[in-house]
Amino acid sequence: MSAARWVRRGALALVFGCPLAGLVIPARATAQAPVARASAGAHFESYSFVAPGVTGASSISLLTVPFAARVAVTHGLSIEAAGAYARATVSAFGTDLTLSGPTDVELRATAAVQRGQTTVAFAGVGIVPSGHERLGLEELVVAGAVASDLLPFHVSNWGTGGGAGGDLTIAQGFEGGSVGLSAGYRVASAFRPFHVVDLSYRPGNELRVGAGLERTLAGDQTVLLQLSYARFGEDLWEGVNLFHTGARVLAMGGYTAPLGSGTASLYGGVLYRSGGALAENLSWVGVLTGMEPPPSETLVLLGSSARLPWRSSVLVPSLDFRALRRSDGTGQGVLVGVGAAAELRLGGGARLVPSARARLGRLLVSEGAATGVRGFEVGLGLQLGGAR
């Protein structure tokens, strides 16, 4: 469910409807703006369950090969693209179920105008339906497992039929900080998600609004507060109302301070997602007969990280905590992670970024049925960038 948001010059890093990535701390603009930058890599994450009889699976793993690129066409106009190839595997009762293929590609063109300390930016967004859309029964099982709100997989779906939209951001700087407002709208396209039934499905359109405040304190300390709201339209099967997704409210705060020659950051936040509502009669959609609407959810996020220069490199240790609670008491739990990354300079503006993380937690599948969770992540990224 997650979507990438670039940090604009003079604007706040506002997070909309993306509860899994943690808090983004805005970076100060530099006099030399990047002309072009690109990144690619490979990331593997795996979770195993102590009591596979409770979950119906012994492990879930995901290999992701993401890419992203940004080109500054002129001083105030940039074009970006991002996507990935992903392969997920669910091991259950001695059988491996897999789902693999490219994800949808997001294209974004942003035009920004700055007058004094005021920045206005408009971004046009297009979602290219390049992903793996039509799923078989086994692939549906894998897709449902990877879409877990507790386990922070890098990819949560392979394809949503494409779509288009736009974002408008207004940021106003002042002595010692800045304040920003943003609004965005997405129009989804219809697609056919299942092999078992040849029906057209169109996700509901999405409206998002948000606000943020950044304040610099004495000693180069920074405080950031963010609040966002997302509302969704009706999901449609063959043009008929199927489902109305619950609204989402995300509130987060962050604090950054110098730590030796580097910096340390703390963040915390809460995402609330109200329960959805099904249409009154779904009997004509055979595969959905007896389906229950999802309950409301509350996801608590806490974490810390540091950026520590070491010779020509930067070390980035981090901790994170996640707690998910659902109104029906199922599919909830806690997860704690500890890890580190390094930014290794290769010359010419290139950086190699290895990373590793270990996770431990507990998952309550249903009343009286719980299991321990163990997980790990390893990754290797390559970042390329140039300056004007």
Residue 28 in any domain: the answer is no
Spatial neighbors of 150 by CB under 8 A, at least 6 apart, are: 322, 324, 331, 332, 333, 335, 361, 363
Whether residue 68 contacts residue 81, with contact meaning beta carbons closer than 8 Å, is answered with: yes
Domain limits for position 229:
34-387
Residue 4 in any domain: the answer is no
Residue 5 in any domain: the answer is no
Residue 115 in any domain: the answer is yes
Give dist(CA 339, CA 68) in Å, integer.
23
Q: Which of 270, 167, 263 is nearest to 226 (CA)?
A: 270
CATH of the domain at 64: 2.40.160
Task: Note the pLDDT tens digit of each residue in 43-56.
Answer: 999 999 999 988 88
What average pLDDT does the chain have? 85
Q: What is the pTM of this model?
A: 0.85
Residue 229 in any domain: the answer is yes
270 or 1, higher pLDDT: 270
Residue 3 in any domain: the answer is no
Which tokens belong to 142? 């894998």
Residue 148 in any domain: the answer is yes
Task: Note the pLDDT tens digit of each residue in 181-225.
Answer: 999 999 999 888 887 777 788 888 999 999 999 999 998 999 999
Whether residue 358 contacts residue 376, with contact meaning beta carbons closer than 8 Å, is answered with: yes
Burial class (CB in 10 A: 0-12, 13-18, 19+), 116: exposed
Q: What average pLDDT score do residues 109-134 get?
A: 92
Residue 19 in any domain: the answer is no
- Could you tell me how many residues make up the chain? 388
pLDDT at 290: 55
Give the model's confidence band at 388: pLDDT under 50 very low, under 70 low, under 90 confident, else very high.
Answer: very low
**Per the structure, how many domains does the chain have?**
1
Spatial neighbors of 44 by CB under 8 A, at least 6 apart, are: 61, 62, 63, 64, 377, 378, 379
pLDDT at 15: 29
